[in-house]
A and B are shown apart, each in its own frame.
Chain A
Amino acid sequence: MESASTNLEPLFAFLAKSLSTLEFAFNKLPGSAVIQRYVKSSHQNDPGRTLLELILVIFAIRTLLQSRTRADRTGKHFIQFSDKEVDELVDEWSPEPLGQPLSAREQAELAVVPIVAGPNGPRPKIASTGKTATNLASLNFTGLAGNENIKERAVETLRKYGLGSCGPPGFYGTLDVHMDLERDIADFLGTEAAILYSQGFSTISSVIPAFCKRGDIIVADRGVSFAIHKGIQISRSTVRWFDHNDLKSLEDVLEGVEKERKKRRGPLTRRFIITEGIFEKDGAMVDLPKLAEKVDMLVGSVAIGLSSSGGFCAGSQTVVDHQRINGPSFVFSASMPALLSVSASEGINILRSTPSILTTLQDNVRAARAILDRVECITIPSHPASPIIHMHIRAPPTSSLHPASAAAATTKPSNPTSPVPRDASTWDWDIETEEKILQDVVEEALVQGVMITKAKRLRGQETVEPRPSIRLAMTSALTKKETEKAVNVVKNAFIKVLGRKR
């Protein structure tokens, strides 16, 4: 007993010494007296509180130390297995194949995707037939594809900059020509600033999560494109949907959102309205003047109208600068090749100096609609001025993506928390059959020398399955006569194929 205490003596001495050193060090810390006084008085007033605070501190430390990657081994769902059992389970487990092989239908679908041999433009050569066709499929609204000025500028740029930018914008990937294009776009659209992304598709799905965070509210059109759906999904914001291109419905939804906030007495959260200028899904046009006095963010693609590649977001300087740090696909991706940027700038130049391009385009759109609107067997949800023309097979009842018919169908408002519109239950088209008929139309048109395409969809992945359609893209590179001739071919193909069916 005695020997034990003598053995422990140096330990006690050490403890006492280190305690006093600790105390000394603590006292030397600035502000320690205040803490000491606080703890003392709080303990005196309420010893229970000290215990509570101590537990809180321990809990906080534990939470901080807990690895986020560690599973809840202690959770009630965790089953303890021995190593042998785990080995057996591992042996038993057999995974599904990584990708299901394509079905015969899908294979056929993939096989008929048109491939252009050589340059694309108003009259490309189709690789499978070896013949040229009039192109109403590719997106070349302004006819800039193959423009000699642009080619010349692109080669010049290649000889100064090489091709790739070899870095993200933050790390020496920002070129002077990128800044020029950003300025050109901002000028062209009349905004304060603009920011360039290197792919059109990835632009919007990056812009949305840069601003919309968990807890924010997004009010979106039910007809927005797939890329916007993805952006909304990744932002984890609360979404409220309004009926496609229906401003009355938007107003109702906005009122609902405001009411909800007042009821909860929550703080003012950010609210965003997301819609499209011309909808990718059906070519309808938004009534922007009515919708808003001012647009904060304009997101667009450099790939389509300007015949280059990439996307942009234009807005105020603050909006743009914010994305330079927070837009995932801006920050983590290499900037676009210099020559594509210069090509787009040159495209803007050409559009400015030759406004007739846009009038030709409009003439062609009107000419096409004059023919197509009189075709009995199809419906067209697209706006009369839209250079993208979607065509559905007409079947009673008419397409409910069309606002006029949608309003007539029922008066009960849709559920704003669901992207599915109220009358989805009345949709009676059979996607597979319609796709097949439309594919026949596409092939019939190609035989007659006109290249068109179905609107391709990711069946099974879309939030709301859009109705199958044929999507024409008008271009100013064709004359009015050529457009009329080609559209007549499309019309006849429709009549022929649908006539056969009925």
Chain B
Amino acid sequence: MPSPSPSPSPMAINIASPSPTRSMFSKKRSKPPIASAASYLNALSQADARARTTRAPTATPALSLSSSITSSSEDTVLNESEHAYDPSNADGLTHPARPPTSEQVFTTVHTEFGHCANDKFRLTSQHALGEPLPEHVEQDPPYYILLSTYISYLILIVIGHIRDFLGKRLSPKYYTHLVPRNGYAPLNSDFDSFYTRRLKTRMDECFSQPVTGVAGRTIVLLDRISPDYNHTHIFTGTRTRALNISSYNYLGFAQARGGCADAVEESIIRYGVTTCGARLEGGSSDLHTTTEALVAEFVGMEDALISSMGFATNSAYIPALVGKGSLVISDELNHASIRFGTRLSGANVRMFKHNDMRNLESLLREVISQGQPKTHRPWKKILVVVEGLYSMEGTLVNLPVILELKKKYKFYLFVDEAHSIGALGPHGRGVADYFGIDPRSIDILMGTFTKSFGAAGGYIAGNKALIDRLRVRGHLGPYAEAMTPPVLTQVLASMASIMGVAVPSPASDAVSNTLVPTAHPGPASESALPSWLTLPPLLASGIEGRSRLRRLAFNSRYLHRGLVKLGFITYGHPASPIVPLLLFNPGKMCMFHRMMLDRATPIVVVVVAYPATPLVTSRVRFCVSAAHTKEDVDTVLRACDEIGDVLDLKHGKAEGGERWSIERIIASAEELAGSS
């Protein structure tokens, strides 16, 4: 694995020196910071050897340098009240760095939703009106990085083929599922599965690690080791609590405590966990009607339709919109569910370069003038499908320009807001809200409840006639199970607390702001919620919802700007809560993942590589949440800074040409996040 180890930069040494803010971790590091990849690998192999020789399930989590802190009994991991008395707070995760003052009252559990009372660390997510969306420039790394990346893959592929060649002859029993036997063709061809077996398996440590508990600000990992190079995993029985910058939890509604969870409990008692069947065949309940009305109000459309799965919302409703004789124009980086849906629809598909409006326009001119292939008949209709926020790049769709094109070229516009709904805009209403655009100028808004609302499933919204058409023509109406009552309630409660609930008589409640239902994007009317669902004042007034939106906006910008100032190559728009950091070499992915997890404050990250990204641009993807405190983002930045030196990742050109030290970044967070 080519991991060039440069001599430690002066910055790395500088960082290794103890700093005042480090004291938030009461635990001392047992080992000095590791200065190079070689020394890290060395230490790693020693730890690995130790783990293999002992193999005792009670041993400290294997392969970990600084022993992870886990609770000994199952319950304490999940039971916060017991955990709160854990005096060590060794990982810096269970208690805030500064104890709360007497005025500050926090209603959330710190491990689920971080305590942060400082109003300076807030921002509004809004596009400066009238300004063009800055075009995203992809920075290229130095040539030696590109070259070594290609060579890495080449080596992996060559070794993989050698192993296949020898393995098939020497130990055929491992290949039985790949060769024909008893007249049955193999279920999986060795060619098709080569990438999985020989490349992905090597880094399986980074994927699919099971967790338990709430995927909130922190997450509890079930520790595992692999005795056979990731073919099987053995659970050690221990657990590690880690800072969670991986889950889609933009507004921090993944909570087991609080107003939303209370509402869900009430709904389970009242409704049970199922509505028994499909929407059109006796599985509809009044909760569905209520939720659909609220969702329509939230996104600012006439009507909305919900489905029990986000993926299926695209894959089953797009075929109901377009068919033979129609054309779908799709961004090349659109999600798999959109491709799945368009393939099922039978419509023709053309793709345009990611977010490239010139490319889109020239494509539109071509397809409209040429008409359908061969026959040259005009298209019945053209549907342009884009995402609001792209999940692997963190880029925002250039909505203002697309809408200009829409006026001229008369196509229909479908915006998939899976990641942007709740996460963008001063009112959390998604990408249209962010740009200050009337949502009704878009034909179809689709989104999911998984990411910002801590629920599951998806919605599709548009004008009433269109949504009714989808109710009848969509595949899910007659055939798929309806959304379950607990999920519906989570959507209702979280959405209402982002909107705030309008109070009928202004003088009735002193705590809540008096909100009057106005035009979109206004608060929800009180009648929009079921009578049994009452939210606590902080949620009902919309105060907490607003604070969540502003915390998310701050955290996103701060992390993004911080990484750029440290000298990393990142992608995406600074307002995006998805922040990809480019790693390039496949070997660095595992290293980065493991080094983040091995820190005094363990951090879990998502690394993504081919085929989810182009072959060279392997990356780590941070998903910022409103549940993170400013200190959490500091922790992530500090970790990236140290690991970035070890793994030689800092190849970006910092804006303004000047890199900042980590201490300077942490000290001037507000200035950094506030700069446009």
Complex Cα spacing A307 to B276, Å: 7
A69 / chain B contacts, CB cutoff of 8 Å: 332, 350-353
Task: Report yes or no: A171 in contact with B606, Cβ–Cβ below 8 A.
Answer: yes
Tell yes or no: A47 within 8 A of B by CB.
Answer: no
Q: How far is the CB of B303 from chain A (nearest CB, A)?
A: 12
Interface residues of B (CB under 8 A from A): 78, 112, 177, 180, 183-188, 192-193, 196, 200, 207-216, 219, 221-222, 244, 246-249, 253-257, 260-261, 264-265, 268-286, 288-289, 308-312, 315-316, 319-321, 332, 335-337, 340, 343-344, 350-353, 364-370, 373-374, 376, 378-383, 408-412, 443-444, 448-451, 453-456, 462, 465-466, 468-473, 475-481, 483-487, 490, 604, 606
Task: Report yes or no: B311 in contact with A107, Cβ–Cβ below 8 A.
Answer: no
A211 / chain B contacts, CB cutoff of 8 Å: 187-188
A86 / chain B contacts, CB cutoff of 8 Å: 365, 368-369
Q: How far is the CB of B527 from chain A (nearest CB, A)?
A: 16
Interface residues of A in 118-154 (CB under 8 A from B): 118-121, 127, 135, 137-140, 144-147, 150-151, 154
B367 / chain A contacts, CB cutoff of 8 Å: 71
Q: How far is the CB of A334 from chain B (nearest CB, A)?
A: 4
- List 29 contacting pairs A-B, 8 Å CB cutoff, sorted by A: A71-B366, A95-B379, A97-B381, A101-B465, A116-B282, A118-B286, A140-B276, A161-B213, A162-B255, A162-B261, A163-B486, A164-B456, A172-B209, A172-B219, A172-B247, A176-B212, A179-B210, A211-B188, A225-B479, A227-B479, A304-B481, A308-B484, A309-B483, A309-B484, A329-B340, A334-B450, A337-B487, A461-B473, A473-B277
Tell yes or no: A257 within 8 A of B by CB.
Answer: no
Task: Report yes or no: A339 in contact with B285, Cβ–Cβ below 8 A.
Answer: no
Tell yes or no: A368 within 8 A of B by CB.
Answer: no
Q: Report, nearest first, the 9 A-B pairs whose CB atoms are least far apart.
A: A137-B282, A201-B480, A456-B478, A138-B276, A303-B481, A99-B469, A199-B309, A333-B311, A166-B247
Task: Report yes or no: B490 in contact with A113, Cβ–Cβ below 8 A.
Answer: no
Q: A151-B272, A163-B455 are in contact. Are A453 and B309 (CB under 8 A)?
A: no
Task: Report yes or no: A95 in contact with B186, Cβ–Cβ below 8 A.
Answer: no
Tell yes or no: A271 within 8 A of B by CB.
Answer: yes
Task: Report yes or no: A166 in contact with B254, Cβ–Cβ below 8 A.
Answer: yes
B209 / chain A contacts, CB cutoff of 8 Å: 172, 174
Task: Report yes or no: A170 in contact with B466, Cβ–Cβ below 8 A.
Answer: no
Q: How far is the CB of B404 from chain A (nearest CB, A)?
A: 14
Q: A78-B370, A106-B472, A322-B188 are in contact. Are A456 and B283 (CB under 8 A)?
A: no
Complex Cα spacing A86 to B207, Å: 49
Task: Report yes or no: A95 in contact with B475, Cβ–Cβ below 8 A.
Answer: no
The 8 A CB mask of A170-209 against B (1 = contact, 0 = none) is: 1111111111000000000000000000111110010000
B207 / chain A contacts, CB cutoff of 8 Å: 170-171
Task: Report yes or no: B451 in contact with A166, Cβ–Cβ below 8 A.
Answer: yes
Task: Report yes or no: A201 in contact with B368, Cβ–Cβ below 8 A.
Answer: no
B280 / chain A contacts, CB cutoff of 8 Å: 113, 453, 456
Complex Cα spacing A110 to B344, Å: 25
Beyond A101-B465, A121-B272, 7 extra complex contacts between A and B, CB < 8 Å? A99-B321, A115-B286, A115-B288, A147-B272, A166-B454, A199-B481, A234-B344
Residue of B nearest to A301 (CB): B481
The size of the chain A interface, using a CB distance under 8 A, is 122
Number of A-B contacts (CB under 8 A): 391
B454 / chain A contacts, CB cutoff of 8 Å: 162-164, 166
Complex Cα spacing A301 to B340, Å: 21
A146 / chain B contacts, CB cutoff of 8 Å: 272
Complex Cα spacing A368 to B445, Å: 45
Residue of B nearest to A102 (CB): B468
Complex Cα spacing A455 to B211, Å: 41
A119 / chain B contacts, CB cutoff of 8 Å: 270-272, 285, 485
B448 / chain A contacts, CB cutoff of 8 Å: 334
Q: How far is the CB of B433 from chain A (nearest CB, A)?
A: 22
Q: How far is the CB of A436 from chain B (nearest CB, A)?
A: 16
B369 / chain A contacts, CB cutoff of 8 Å: 79, 81, 85-86, 89-90
B286 / chain A contacts, CB cutoff of 8 Å: 115-118, 127
Interface residues of A in 41-81 (CB under 8 A from B): 68-69, 71, 73, 77-79, 81
Q: How far is the CB of B530 from chain A (nearest CB, A)?
A: 10
B246 / chain A contacts, CB cutoff of 8 Å: 167, 171-172
Tell yes or no: A169 within 8 A of B by CB.
Answer: yes
Complex Cα spacing A93 to B365, Å: 11
Q: Which of A205, A334, A340 has the most CB of B within 10 A?
A: A334
Task: Report yes or no: A332 in contact with B311, Cβ–Cβ below 8 A.
Answer: yes
Task: Report yes or no: A101 in contact with B480, Cβ–Cβ below 8 A.
Answer: no
Complex Cα spacing A455 to B282, Å: 10
A94 / chain B contacts, CB cutoff of 8 Å: 410
Task: Report yes or no: B321 in contact with A90, Cβ–Cβ below 8 A.
Answer: no
Task: Report yes or no: A174 in contact with B273, Cβ–Cβ below 8 A.
Answer: no
Tell yes or no: A33 within 8 A of B by CB.
Answer: no
The 8 A CB mask of A448-466 against B (1 = contact, 0 = none) is: 0001010111100100000
Complex Cα spacing A378 to B229, Å: 62
